[in-house]
Amino acid sequence: MKSYRVWQIFLRGADYRIAKMVKSYKKTLALGHGLGSKETDKIIKKTLAKRTRKVADYKPQYRSNLQSVIREIESLSFRKAHLTELKKTPFWYLIHSIINNKLDKHKCRKSDDAIIDLIFFFDAKSRTFYINKKKLNITSDDIRLIFGIRDGGNIIDFGKRTKKIPTEFVRRRFEKCDRLTKVIISDALKLAIQGRQQNDIEDVARLLTLHILVSLFVPNKAQSLGWTYIEYVEDITNVTTYDWSMHILECLYMSLCANANNPTDVTGCVMSLPVSGGDIKITKFEKDLMKTNPEEERDSGDEETVSKEESKLGGGKEEQGGEKEGEEESAQEDNELMKISGENRREYEDIRGGEIEEIGEERGVNQDSGLIKLYEVAQHVENTEEKQNEAQSKIQELEKELKALKAREIDLEKQLAESMSNLEKKDKEHQDALMKLASL
């Protein structure tokens, strides 16, 4: 029985290659320890099964997930007033595509293994990907085209505020919350969509914007957002004036540079990494998207964006006809995309690469200045944290000195009390002595 236990411990400590080598000698060893071939097979299978489970536990799981956004939007029942407010958000085209079932869910699925393989090709010093001896970069226009983001040129100051802001929106939805987590945002969204007041309708647009940010664009391991995003989302009329595409790209690049040696720790919008040139088709609509002012586009494009969701709300024959035309146009685009293959696809990728390089050169200065500013803000935050730590250490030292002084004060009071009592005793002795002398 002792030899059986030794054999079991030996196999538990062996890895796959050692176990494979031991298996060839199992009959000889089994005979020497009095075991049969079937028993040794069972031990080896158990050992290898445990090894497989341990390896599977360490697989990466990135938080950037479009499926979560799709499930959240599909679980909500929007009214016409909600859609009017959602059109004011920078992510309206993404929301519109999900509501109208224009997104292929199979293509929206991410592969964590493919993402981690891509991150291994990233060079933090040059901030580029080296794949097949080619330098590849991601620009803010790539983010804008992939997800259909409408934004402006105002920079988002990420480290502006870290504490909770007591605004009206926060009091309505997050009064008792210390952190802005994904679960809390989702619960607040489900409550807001049931309301009938104007504040409830506007809050649906704000909360859905926050949910898309925490789920897809700027996720982290804690699945939470900073309170600073409230400032940019609360004013729903000006939310599209900020450069969201650049901010999403900056968050991704900061995480890539900080975790270049640990790809599993990378956060941000990693969903944008596996998208290849053949998956994006730059249409006239998308070119206009980069040039058009979101305010003008919102006013002029309301009739174009109304399709399936308003037909569900009781639209007439004209709306249903518009829906059919939209489906025919999307089908034509899909057919044209399927025709691109082989040499045509390569030519298309070269053309697209040239267009993206031209756009990247125009916006390169803004990207660098934005990244520099973000880096300066991060350094400023680090410096303030160091100063706070130094101040706290000084306060602790002063508290220790104060305690020592209080203890010294107590000791002196005790000594003074003892000396006073001694003086009183001596006075009594002197008085007694004088009384005796007087009696004599």
Residue 205: the pLDDT is 96
Dihedral Cα 53, 58, 62, 63, nearest 10 deg:
80
Nearest one of 321, 277, 301, 337 to 92, comparing CA atoms: 301
Question: Distance between CA 235 and CA 253 in Å, rounded?
Answer: 28
Side-chain half-sphere exposure of 5, counting CA atoms within 13 A: 2
Nearest one of 186, 245, 181 to 219, comparing CA atoms: 181
Share of the chain above pLDDT 70, in %: 61
Question: Distance between CA 184 and CA 211 in Å, rounded?
Answer: 10
Question: Distance between CA 410 and CA 220 in Å, rounded?
Answer: 53
Which residue has tokens 């790209």? 249
Query: Over 80: is that where the pLDDT of 141 sits?
Result: yes
Range in 159-163, 348-352, 405-409 with the lowest mean pLDDT: 348-352
Residue 187: the pLDDT is 95
What is the dihedral sign for C-alpha 188, 193, 197, 203?
positive
Residue 424: the pLDDT is 85
Q: List, for residues 371-384, the tens digit of each pLDDT value.
A: 555 556 566 666 77
Q: List, for residues 203-217, the tens digit of each pLDDT value.
A: 999 999 999 999 999
Q: List, for residues 92-118, the tens digit of each pLDDT value.
A: 999 999 999 888 777 777 778 888 888
φ, ψ dihedrals at 223, nearest 5°? 50, 50
Residue 394: the pLDDT is 85
pLDDT top residue among 297 and 389: 389
Q: List, for residues 427-439, the tens digit of each pLDDT value.
A: 888 888 888 787 7
Return the DSSP state at 195.
Answer: -
The pTM of this model reads: 0.55
Question: Distance between CA 266 and CA 221 in Å, rounded?
Answer: 9
Q: List, for residues 321-341, the tens digit of each pLDDT value.
A: 444 454 454 445 444 444 433
Question: Distance between CA 306 and CA 326 in Å, rounded?
Answer: 10
The most confident of the ranges 150-159, 179-188, 305-314, 370-379 is 179-188
Residue 215: the pLDDT is 94
Q: List, for residues 257-271, the tens digit of each pLDDT value.
A: 998 888 888 999 998
pLDDT top residue among 12 and 77: 77
Query: Over 80: is that where the pLDDT of 296 sits?
Result: no
Residue 98: the pLDDT is 92
Boundaries of every domain in the chain:
62-290, 394-439
Dihedral Cα 149, 155, 160, 161, nearest 10 deg:
-20
86 and 78 Cβ atoms separated by less than 8 Å: yes
Q: What is the mean pLDDT of residues 146-154?
A: 91
| The two structure tokens encoding residue 300 | 């002029």
Residue 384: the pLDDT is 75
Instruction: State which H helix or E strand residue 129 sits in.
Output: strand 128-131
**In the predicted model, what is the mean pLDDT of the chain?**
73
Query: Over 70: is that where the pLDDT of 127 sits?
Result: yes
SS3 244: helix
